[in-house]
Amino acid sequence: MISLRHVIVFLLLLVTATRAWSGTPAARVPVLTDEEAWKKMTFVETERGRQLPVWIRALAVSLPKTAAAMIDLDYAQRMESTLPPLLRAKLRWVAADANRCAYAKAYARFDYVRAGGKAEDIDALPKQMDKLPKEERIALQLVKQLVEAAYTVTDEQVADVVKIHGEKQTVAIVLVAAYANFQDRLLLALGVEVEPDGPYLPIKVSFPKPVKKAPATEDKKEKPKRIVSPPAKEPPPVPEKLDDPEWTALSFDALRQRLDKQIARRQARVRIPDWEAVRAQLPPEMPKPDKPIRIKWSLLTYGYQPRLSAAWLGGLRAFRQESDLDPVFHESMFWVVTRSLQCFY
Amino acid sequence: MGHTQMLLAVAGLKEQGLNERVAKLASGDWSSFPPNERAGLLFAHKLTRKPWYVRRSDLDVLTAHLGRERALDSIWYICWCNYMTRVADAFQIPLEAENVFAEEQKPTK
């Protein structure tokens, strides 16, 4: 006969097993403790020992450099944006709301209150949109649309935002939307919940300056072999076809025509600064590129928002050092993302 | 050529292979891709289109096919792509005439 004691022992074992897998019940992936995560990020110069957000502790399990770069990015977005803090928090909240991300909404509300706003005001945003001053309304509308259907944003719409906010701030507004579309997906995929004593304040980190090495030395240095867990021996079957009527409704030829139209486009919706102007204002902590940047995406973002862009691309650099995905496979995922969004990119 | 295609070229695909791969991706019939790639591509589609519908079971399938670390790599990268596209769409940034990513990898003179 099963006694109460047996039931209690079974439940305790179940809880222990769950924690061994996920570290915290509020995530779908393994999560380190603060102490474990900081140990993995020994290269970070900061007030060590601060409480880390759960998504950072999840990344730190196998991507510690990327996790550290994400702490910096989060700090740059939340503390160093050129936007007024109240507006910035509202924009972030609207994006999180559109992405249905409760974690990010809680953090945006926290930042709004920290900046002097009232929690009830930000919670009422969807109902208040029409009553807001035009300068706020068009910025919030742009961010919402960038989350829900970015391809529907028009030249006139961006021109309106630029007219009121200027080019620099318009880029900052778009970068809030871009960051939200990155972070919310990460939070939703990892299935994290707000920390029991969260939300937390952003953490200022710094990294040792990279030592410039001769290219020949870099070539000789091999990337250390990464230890990874193998796939399952008998993984579940995966569908062979994508079940999405919208996807098949747009033919390959129609996609090509859109791309050709984009190639023919001569100008972006804001002026793209040239390399000399961009180089002059790169943040001092950023490794200086050997060659001029020619990618227009990078020139635009660095040109108007060097700090936010350096923090973002610092994340990519760290990720490239740590991950070892097959290049054709991971760029194919990028292709799928662009197609899913009907983005020309 | 779009940036994703430029990156596929830098990843090692020649013109014909690249065109064939993109045509297959565009068709939505991914039966010729191995199951582990399909798992990543399907996850990329779902996380991009309806991130709020991603469930633990989706993550379990991805992890079963790629292993835990590469599943996390894939998630991070898909999220990264979602940042890049929003900036491109917002500003309708013109595409470069040449593959600027290939140029980035050439040694400095």
User: Residue A36's domain is classified under what CATH number?
Assistant: 1.20.1290.10
Stronger pLDDT, A345 or B57, i.e. the higher one: B57
The tens digit of pLDDT for each residue in A165-180 reads 999 999 999 999 999 9
> CB contact, 8 Å: A106 with chain B?
no
> In terms of domains, do A175 and A33 share one?
yes
Q: Are A181 and A278 members of one domain?
A: no
Chain B environment of A299 (Cβ under 8 Å): none
The pLDDT score that the predictor gives to residue B103 is 65
Quote the pLDDT of residue A205.
92
* pLDDT of residue A12 exceeding 70: no
Interface test with B, best of A32, A147, A238, A256 (most B CBs within 10 A): A238
* A156 and A86 belong to one structural domain: yes
| Cβ <8 Å between B92 and A270 | no
Question: Under an 8 A CB cutoff, do B100 and A177 touch?
Answer: no
* Chain A to chain B Cβ contacts (< 8 Å): 297
Q: Name the nearest CA neighbour of B86 among A334, A119, A338.
A: A338
- H-helix or E-strand containing B64? helix B56-66
Q: Quick check: is A330 in a domain?
A: yes
- Asked if residue A120 is part of any domain, the answer here is yes
| Residue A255 resides in a domain | yes
Residue A31 and residue A179 share a domain? yes
Instruction: Report yes or no on A331 lying in a domain.
Output: yes
Please give the model's pTM, rounded to 2 decimal places.
Answer: 0.91
**Secondary structure (H, E, C), chain A:** CCCHHHHHHHHHHHHHHHHHHHCCCCCCCCCCCHHHHHHHCCCCEECCCCCCCHHHHHHCCCCHHHHHHHHHHHHHHHHCCCCCHHHHHHHHHHHHHHCCCHHHHHHHHHHHHHCCCCHHHHHCHHHHHHHCCHHHHHHHHHHHHHHHHHHHCCHHHHHHHHHHHHHHHHHHHHHHHHHHHHHHHHHHHHCCCCCCCCCCCCCCEECCCCCCCCHHHHHHCCCCCCCCCCCCCCCCCCCCECCCHHHHHCCHHHHHHHHHHHHHCCCCCCCCCCHHHHHHCCCCCCCCCCCCCCCHHHHHHHHHCHHHHHHHHHHHHHHHHHCCCCHHHHHHHHHHHHHHCCCCC
pLDDT digits (tens, 9 = 90+) for A85-114: 999 999 999 999 999 999 999 999 999 999
The last residue of one of the domains, among A190, A211, A231, is: A190
Residues A37 and A157 in one domain: yes
Of the three residues A150, A171, A190, the one that is the final residue of a domain is: A190
Of A174, A190, A206, the one marking the end of a domain is A190
Task: Look at A340 and B64 and tell me if their CB atoms are within 8 Å.
Answer: no
Partner B contacted by A248 (CB < 8 A):
yes
In this structure, are A52 and A174 located in the same domain? yes
Q: Using an 8 Å Cβ cutoff, are B67 and A281 in contact?
A: no
Same domain assignment for residues A50 and A184: yes
Backbone angles phi, psi at A45, to 5 degrees: -100, 115
Q: Is residue A197 part of a domain?
A: no
> Residue B109: its pLDDT value, please?
37
- Same domain (yes/no): A183, A248: no
Tell me the residue range of the domain where A131 lies: 19-190
In 3D space, the residue among A258, A345, A332, A337 whose CA is nearest the CA of residue B21 turns out to be A332
A113 and A49 fall within a common domain: yes
Q: A337 CB near a chain B CB, below 8 Å?
A: yes
Predicted local confidence at residue A214, as pLDDT: 57
Model pLDDT for residues A232-287, shown as the tens digit of each residue: 999 999 999 999 998 988 888 888 888 888 888 879 999 999 999 999 888 887 77
Nearest to A166 by CA among A270, A310, A81: A270
Identify the top-confidence range among A21-30, A148-157, A283-292: A148-157
Closest CA to A63 of B70, B65, B36, B79: B70
The reply to whether A232 falls in a domain is no
- Average of per-residue pLDDT values in chain A: 89
Percent of chain B at pLDDT exceeding 70: 94
Q: Which of A330, A216, A163, A324 is nearest to B10 (CA)?
A: A330
Percent with pLDDT over 90 in chain A: 72
CA distance A25 to A193: 9
Q: What is the pLDDT of residue A217?
A: 53
Listed in sequence order, the residues at least 6 apart from A23 whose beta carbon sits closer than 8 Å to its beta carbon are A30, A31, A32, A33, A57
Angle, CA of A45, A115 and A175, to the nearest 5°: 65
Whether residues A36 and A157 fall in one domain:
yes
Residue A2 domain flag: no
| B91 vs A147, A259, A300: nearest CB | A300
pLDDT at A210: 66
Residue A220 has pLDDT above 70, yes or no: no
Is A129 within a domain? yes
With cut-offs at 50, 70 and 90, classify the pLDDT of residue A46: confident
For A3, phi then psi, to 5°, come to: -90, 170
Domain match, A166 and A51 both:
yes
Give me the interface pTM, i.e. the ipTM.
0.94
Q: Do A253 and A141 have their domain in common?
A: no
Is it the case that residue A218 has pLDDT exceeding 70?
A: no
Number of domains in chain A: 2
| Structure confidence at residue A136 (pLDDT) | 97
Average pLDDT of the residues in B21-41: 96
